[in-house]
Structure 1
């Protein structure tokens, strides 16, 4: 039986991040902190299950390409693998001379972002995808990328709800949007760092494997 995918493994921590934002929104509107609000994190069913399902659903509403664009603030060549050579040159773990001997047409590839990602995925990522160091950074990237997307969608839903059904949303102020805004920025930074780390870690592990062989 195949193991759980990285996205499936991220449902629980993603749900926790959603709960934390909901608690923050409650604090913003009540101006008090009630520790009982955190009791939901201890719930193994019911509310926590519902939040897990909701978080998983929201994370799939935005296409992967759009989520990647959100993280790296680019419309083209959005993945960190599109710039793996530039990232590798900044990583002290990577022997650049060894990398140059491994990568054919190093200089020409460096100026072709599209080919860089294909090359990195085929030659560096796929052979070591199951290595703990690589899988861990990939999991973190997916978690924070999806968290940023879920927070953005939640912020949009909140604004639309306030505009369309303000009477029912009277207890929730527009200030709540700032909670999502701060979360989005934090998740984007975390996802970007994790994504870049995933790329360079795959290269470092792959080159180390070659040396030891």
Structure 2
């Protein structure tokens, strides 16, 4: 099993727990605290929350990675942060550009085309540092929040669909849609931070080796 698959497996429990909490919050918004306190609503809410969490996990696993990365980095071309490794390293206070130019002149000294940077970073830097604690931590959190971003987007789209189709007794509040949109945005920003951090952490570890 690859390192990425191991990290994704270790994230499943956390993703399930977070989505369950989000579902409970949504029920509180929909029913109000007084309505939710009713014992029947509590059981129904917990049961539906668990079911939605399982369904979201299943859907997240079939969403293409490329689409997940577009959600996180808000780009459609050269999406992965390794394409922007030079710019990211310049902003990282841990790194000295002169040292990086001496270590990897092909990437940091010469004018390497942007489309070649991510493959170079992956092969020559990441693969040699992917077992370090810094890189593993950043990678794990990147995958965690990327999948949470995808899961909340799925929930947002489903809630939006229910909002605009007529089902007796079911009226999704606008605040639920706003809540899910905001959570999708927050998870996207956090995932992007860790994705960028993974790139620069691999460079930092590689530069010291």
- State the Cα distance separating 1:54 from its structure 2 match: 2.5
- Counterparts of 1:1-213 in structure 2, within 5 Å, are 5-32=6-33, 53-105=54-106, 106-109=109-112, 112-170=113-171, 172-209=172-209
> Contact 2:160 / 2:177 at 8 angstroms: preserved in 1?
yes
**Deviation sequence 1:52-107 (CA, Å, 0-9, x none):** 64332121232111111111110001111110111011111112111101223333
Mapped partners of 1:35, 1:204: distance in 2 = 51
- State the Cα distance separating 1:11 from its structure 2 match: 0.5
Distance 1:48 1:31, change over 3 A: closer
Distance 1:53 1:197, change over 3 A: same
Structure 1 or 2: larger helix share? Answer: 2
- State the Cα distance separating 1:133 from its structure 2 match: 1.1
- State the Cα distance separating 1:148 from its structure 2 match: 0.6
Distance 1:9 1:55, change over 3 A: farther
Mapped partners of 2:85, 2:117: distance in 1 = 7
**TM-score (normalizing by structure 1):** 0.83
- State the Cα distance separating 1:189 from its structure 2 match: 0.9
Corresponding pairs, count = 201
**TM-score (normalizing by structure 2):** 0.85
**Deviation sequence 1:101-128 (CA, Å, 0-9, x none):** 122333312xx22111011101110011
- State the Cα distance separating 1:29 from its structure 2 match: 1.4
Pairwise CA RMSD of aligned residues? 2.7
> Contact 1:11 / 1:55 at 8 angstroms: preserved in 2?
no
> Contact 2:20 / 2:50 at 8 angstroms: preserved in 1?
no
Q: Name stretches of at least 5 consecutive residues in structure 2 with no aligned partner.
A: none
Distance 1:149 1:166, change over 3 A: same
- State the Cα distance separating 1:168 from its structure 2 match: 4.9
Distance 1:116 1:48, change over 3 A: same
Mapped partners of 1:30, 1:118: distance in 2 = 50
